[in-house]
Structure 1
Amino acid sequence: MKREELISLLAGDGPVNEACRKALEQGASFHIWDGLVPASNLAPAYRAREAITRDRGIPTLGFAAAVETLNALAEQPVRLGGVTQLDPPYYFQLFLSADATTVLACIGVDQQHQG
């Protein structure tokens, strides 16, 4: 996938999509993985991660909404991607449709507060 394609997929509203799109526009690195995973396999892990980041006071964007989306998708296959912004350090976890034509959900995690 080309950078411009991913930027256009993040055209939706919301602070996490906007922040991820801006990071890409400013040159953040990104990767879209080839494999597919049922959303139901991801939802419990990301629910636990959301609780951990909240308990540790780590700033995030879109976490709760992404977990809700993964739950709602049930057995639908999801493609994963990631965007790494170095300054300030922030990581965006992307959940895309199987054909990588739609961003289903996005999570942003502040990396400055990682322990």
Structure 2
Amino acid sequence: MDRAQLIALLDHQDDAYQACRAALTGGSPFKIFDGSLPASHFADIYRVREIHTREKGIPTVGFAQAVEALYALGEQPLQVGNVELAEPPYYFQLFFSAETSAVVACIGVDQQHHSRR
């Protein structure tokens, strides 16, 4: 998948998708990983991560909505990818339909928290 295709897939109007799309438009690097796992696998992991970020006061965007979407997808296979914005440092976790024809969830996590420790 090229950059333009990924930007086109980030067509939702919520904050996480818009911020990720802006990062890609600005040239941020991205990766899409081979292989897939059931959405339920990711839902359990990211529910714990969402709780952790909230408890630590780490700013995020789209986290709760993404976890809900992952649970709703049940056993559907998903692929993952990411986008890393350098300034300000933000990490976007993307979840794709198995054939990568749609982004089904997007999470953004502020990385400045890590550099302040």
Task: List per-residue Cα deviations over 1:53-97 (Å, max 9, x = no partner).
Answer: 000000000000110011111100001000001111000000000
Task: List per-residue Cα deviations over 1:13-50 (Å, max 9, x = no partner).
Answer: 11110000000000100000111010111111100000
Runs of 4+ in 1 over 4 A off after TM superposition: none
Alignment RMSD, CA only?
A: 0.7
Is the aligned partner of 1:86 residue 2:86?
yes
* Aligned twin of 2:52: 52
* Matched pairs, number: 115
Q: What secondary structure sits across from 1:79 in the alignment?
A: strand
Identical pairs, percent: 56
Structure with greater strand percent? 1
* Aligned twin of 2:33: 33
Shift of 1:11: 1.7
In 1, distance between residues paired with 2:11 and 2:38?
25
In 1, distance between residues paired with 2:89 and 2:109?
9
In 1, distance between residues paired with 2:93 and 2:77?
16
Gapped regions of structure 2 (runs ≥ 5): none
In 2, distance between residues paired with 1:11 and 1:47?
24
* Counterparts of residues 1-115 of structure 1 (less than 5 Å): 1-114=1-114, 115=117
